């Protein structure tokens, strides 16, 4: 179990980050104040949050086991208060991993779809519709030659082998699942909510909002009303394009989900990756994904091939965004795959 958890760490970094784009002199780990008693903690390009109250601490996204252990030490030293709640933004193991260190004192809460997402598929479970698009030889498995951006080529040397835990040369649905959701590092929630939930602790409030399917189908937006701050993971990152090829997703629901977020009354957005931003940057992200969705939908309706779409959908208005070049072609491919595997929904 332990060796598997260690193996997954470098893979998880690759899932979200083509390079370690840290600025010079920036420490690998830090805790910074956002507003009042609300803080962000960060390791390299992964962040979570915590809110300190007189009756204990609420943690959002323990992230990885080694990060959660470090955070626990820091919280004990700085505040001497127990962690009473752990909220998961979603169940991908590079955000929800490591919470076990808080299990003695904390109640864990997440969206209700987390329950099914934490269930390992059967060894003979069929590939998802999008994965079936990659399965050129139609054997119900993904070989390395079929593995696209989501699994293979962009992950660097050895990435396929990290998914292929039984070293068979082919990935089953269960192996693909295990690299994202599974493994021993995600402690199952104690409480599941469906549309909205509130946590009241020490006179402070935290709201959990489900804004529909986006990067995943179990995503929680965490809203701190007093601090006028939201926390979002993966589906909404200020100043960085969404990543439809790397992280899967649902279109057009993803756009609608972003529109729901815009309706919340906040000023600051703290993302699970990159730096905090403002509401104006949220609006920009909605526009980006909406334009991507519309351009790819139109292209498909006009009978264009995916290569033609990649050559013509340039999204140049967004070239100032972080890793625009890294994301552009891959996002066109990702949106194409999402739409082609959900016929009738676009």
Site for Zn ion, rule CB under 5 A: 92, 234
For Zn ion, the closer CB: 208 or 310: 208
The whole-angstrom separation of Cα 247 and Cα 185 is: 19
Helix (H, G, I), strand (E, B) or coil at 47: strand
Peptide bond into 302 cis (omega under 30): no
Q: How far is the CB of 81 from Zn ion (least distance, A)?
A: 29
- In the bound state, the residue with its beta carbon closest to Zn ion is 92
Q: How far is the CB of 45 from Zn ion (least distance, A)?
A: 13
For Zn ion, the closer CB: 57 or 258: 258
For Zn ion, the closer CB: 100 or 234: 234
Helix (H, G, I), strand (E, B) or coil at 217: coil
265 DSSP assignment: -
For Zn ion, the closer CB: 94 or 284: 94
State the helix-helix crossing angle for 279-301 and 253-262, rounded to 10 degrees: 160
Contact (Cβ atoms closer than 8 angstroms) between residue 90 and residue 219 = yes
Q: How far is the CB of 226 from Zn ion (least distance, A)?
A: 27
Q: How far is the CB of 65 from Zn ion (least distance, A)?
A: 17
The whole-angstrom separation of Cα 122 and Cα 82 is: 38
Beta bridge partners of 39: 33, 50
Q: How far is the CB of 92 from Zn ion (least distance, A)?
A: 3
CA atoms lying within 13 Å on the CB side of residue 173: 17
Q: How far is the CB of 90 from Zn ion (least distance, A)?
A: 6
For Zn ion, the closer CB: 234 or 284: 234
Question: Nearest Cα to 285, choosing from 249, 244, 329, 235?
Answer: 235
For Zn ion, the closer CB: 164 or 234: 234
State the helix-helix crossing angle for 324-340 and 279-301, rounded to 10 degrees: 50
């Amino acid at each position: 179990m332990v060796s598997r958890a260690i193996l997954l760490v470098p893979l998880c970094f690759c899932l979200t980050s083509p390079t370690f784009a840290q600025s010079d002199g920036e420490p690998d780990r830090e805790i910074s104040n956002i507003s009042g008693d609300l803080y962000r903690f960060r390791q390299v390009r992964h962040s979570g949050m915590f809110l300190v109250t007189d009756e204990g601490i609420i943690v959002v996204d323990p992230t990885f086991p080694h990060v959660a252990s470090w955070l626990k030490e820091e919280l004990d030293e700085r505040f001497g208060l127990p962690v009473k709640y752990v909220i998961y933004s979603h169940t991908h193991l590079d955000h929800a991993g490591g919470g076990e260190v808080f299990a003695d004192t904390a109640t864990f809460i997440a969206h209700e779809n987390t329950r099914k997402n934490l269930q390992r598929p059967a060894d003979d479970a069929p590939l998802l519709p999008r994965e079936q698009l990659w399965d050129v030889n139609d054997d119900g498995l993904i070989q390395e030659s079929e593995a696209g951006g989501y699994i293979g080529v962009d992950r660097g040397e050895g990435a396929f082998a990290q998914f292929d835990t039984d070293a068979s040369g082919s990935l089953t649905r269960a192996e693909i699942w295990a690299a994202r959701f599974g493994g021993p590092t995600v402690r199952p929630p104690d409480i599941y909510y469906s549309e909205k939930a509130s946590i009241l602790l020490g006179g402070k409030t935290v709201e959990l909002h489900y804004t529909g399917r986006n990067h995943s189908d179990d995503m929680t937006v965490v809203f701190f009303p007093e601090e006028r701050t939201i926390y979002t993971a993966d589906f909404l990152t200020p100043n960085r394009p969404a990543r439809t090829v790397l992280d899967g997703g649902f279109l057009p629901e993803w756009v609608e989900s972003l529109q729901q977020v815009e309706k919340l009354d906040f000023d600051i957005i703290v993302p699970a990756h990159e730096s905090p931003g403002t509401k104006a940057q949220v609006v920009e992200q909605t526009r980006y994904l909406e334009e991507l969705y519309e351009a790819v939908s139109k292209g498909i309706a006009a009978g264009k091939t995916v290569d033609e779409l990649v050559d013509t959908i340039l999204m140049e208005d967004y070239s100032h965004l972080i890793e625009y070049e890294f994301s552009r072609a891959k996002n066109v491919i990702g949106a194409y795959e999402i739409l082609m595997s959900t016929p009738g929904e676009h």
